[in-house]
Structure 1
Amino acid sequence: MATVRLLKCALLCALVACPEAHAHVATPEASPLAWTFEPWVVIALAVSLALYITGYVRLRARGAQGRAGRTARLVAFVTGWLTLVVALVSPLHALSEWLFSAHMLQHELLMLVAAPLLVIGRPLAMWLWAFPAVARMRIGAATRSRWIKRPWRFLSLPIVAWTLHAAALWCWHAPRFFETALARPGIHTLQHTSFLGSALLFWWTVFGRASEGHGAANAHAMLLLFTTMVHTGALGALLTLAPGVWYPSCMETTRALGFDPLQDQQLGGLVMWVPGGLAYLIGGLMVGARWLTRRAPPRVGVGRPREG
């Protein structure tokens, strides 16, 4: 199952990384409130939803147990999918090419809303059921190869997932790297891929392991969320309280819309600081509730009549 989840994360990374082939550099002809209809983006989103719905309907028709759990995962996936639409197709995507604050909001939607909901939705497992039985068996056998198992065991370690996610956030928000990503489409693609990929891996270590019901997994998840909330809040505070503009490339487009670049940066920092911290807090509450309500395994001999 771990290898299946790794393939899920890889597919989701490819799904969202593709739309970012163009850097966030606004042109005079572009509208800051236009819908973005990249054909391959729309097709990828439509296919992913169609496969999920097909797999869900097929599983439901089989009458297998766990219908309530499948419904909850369906709601999570659809909500996460709609978040991707907002981040990549709606006017927010076009506006992020003009305003740093909109850019930050787009990143937060991808990392703090879409990523955890997609992880909870278990899309790959549902997508598999959209294929014939023979194809499902072949895909399952392929994901059990050692070339996927071993990397996944390493990447899914809590400390590794936490480090990769923290490194992606701090490194890409350094002025030199952020400015380079804005100027070069290929590097900008790498930036967004690392954001979403590390977020999917991070949230898997939080919700994937916690769902297994082990106390140690839940404890690790709580620690990951708390420490991430602290260091992302620190980054948001630095952006908010900075006396000057960190990213000069955003100044021209921000002023073109009549906004002050420093205030726009401060608003972007607040987006990471306050709503971002709230997302990690909600995740921690969910893990804590699951930890407290999980059933302890029955002890041997409890409830059985004593001999004699």
Structure 2
Amino acid sequence: MFFTHRAQHLVLHHAGPFLIALAAPLPVLTDGLPTRIRHFSGWRPVARLLRPLYLTLQHPLIAPVLFVGLIYFWLIPEVHFDAMLSTDLYQVMNWSMALDGLLFWWLILDRRTPQQGGLGYGKRIAILLVVIPPQIVLGAYIVFSRNVIFDVYEVCGRAWPLDPLTDQLLGGLLTWVPATMMSAIGVLIILSFLFRDARKEDAADVSHATP
């Protein structure tokens, strides 16, 4: 079913990573690791080796392109056809979506302030706004198409007797509406971070001004 596939990727690429990044679980997860793993000397060389790649993927110009680009890439009909019929390629598709989702939302929902090394709030909001139109265009294209775009489901079959165009319409809506809403929610959260920092600065100014 195409629409269940889109629902799966909505969770893997949007909702799941969004909630994980919002929870900021890394300090707790790190503290919960066994001592021998936390103090394993091999982590530092690995971290130094991967840092350039991580910083490249987290660049504010590259992150949104990669975020939207992966959605488009895996929905190219020929690529999608092969991915749905190959177990290995299917795993690559799902893992790439999940990992990219984590990287993207980790960048956007980073609890660090710009002064602490986090990305500026204006840039975060700009990124969220930039990724909205391409997802709307892709979702609308799928929704309003009068032809079956993804014919792989005619080959592998559908779990329920659903009309192919209806299946495609539902999948297009999932690509279009919830993804856009996630960006809107992200903007609201970033604004809450901004207001939080402003309140802290005001409180600090008042405390310094009080004799």
TM class, shorter-length: 0.7 to 0.9
The structure-2 alpha-carbon separation of the partners of 1:264 and 1:143, relative to structure 1 and needing over 3 Å to count, comes to farther
Give ranges in structure 1 of 5+ residues lacking alignment.
1-98
Q: How big is the alpha-carbon RMSD for the aligned residues of Structure 1 and Structure 2?
A: 2.4
C-alpha displacement at 1:292, in angstroms? 2.2
Q: Deviations over 1:257-305 (max 9, x none)?
A: 2211011101110111112211111111111121123133857x95276
SS in structure 2 opposite 1:296? Answer: helix
Question: 1:261 and 2:164 equivalent?
Answer: yes
Question: Where does residue 296 of structure 1 map in the other structure?
Answer: 201
Q: Deviations over 1:156-212 (max 9, x none)?
A: 21212212112111111111111110121111111111111111111111001xx22
Question: 1:101 and 2:3 equivalent?
Answer: yes
Question: 1:129 and 2:31 equivalent?
Answer: yes
The structure-2 alpha-carbon separation of the partners of 1:144 and 1:250, relative to structure 1 and needing over 3 Å to count, comes to closer
Q: Map 1:1-308 onto structure 2 (within 5 A).
A: 99-138=1-40, 141-142=43-44, 145-208=47-110, 211-214=111-114, 217-251=120-154, 253-254=157-158, 257-294=160-197, 295-296=200-201, 298=204, 302-303=208-209
SS in structure 1 opposite 2:70? Answer: helix
CA contact (8 A) 2:12 2:94 kept: no
Distance 1:132 1:126 in 2: 12
The structure-2 alpha-carbon separation of the partners of 1:132 and 1:185, relative to structure 1 and needing over 3 Å to count, comes to closer
Equivalent pairs counted in the alignment come to 203
Distance 2:189 2:28 in 1: 23
C-alpha displacement at 1:245, in angstroms? 0.6
Q: Deviations over 1:106-157 (max 9, x none)?
A: 1101212111111223344322222343432226853774202222222221
Q: Which has the higher contact order (CA 8 A, sep 6+)?
A: 2
Identity %: 23
Distance 1:296 1:157 in 2: 28
Given the two structures, how large is their TM-score scaled by the length of structure 2? 0.85
Given the two structures, how large is their TM-score scaled by the length of structure 1? 0.60
Q: Deviations over 1:1-30 (max 9, x none)?
A: xxxxxxxxxxxxxxxxxxxxxxxxxxxxxx
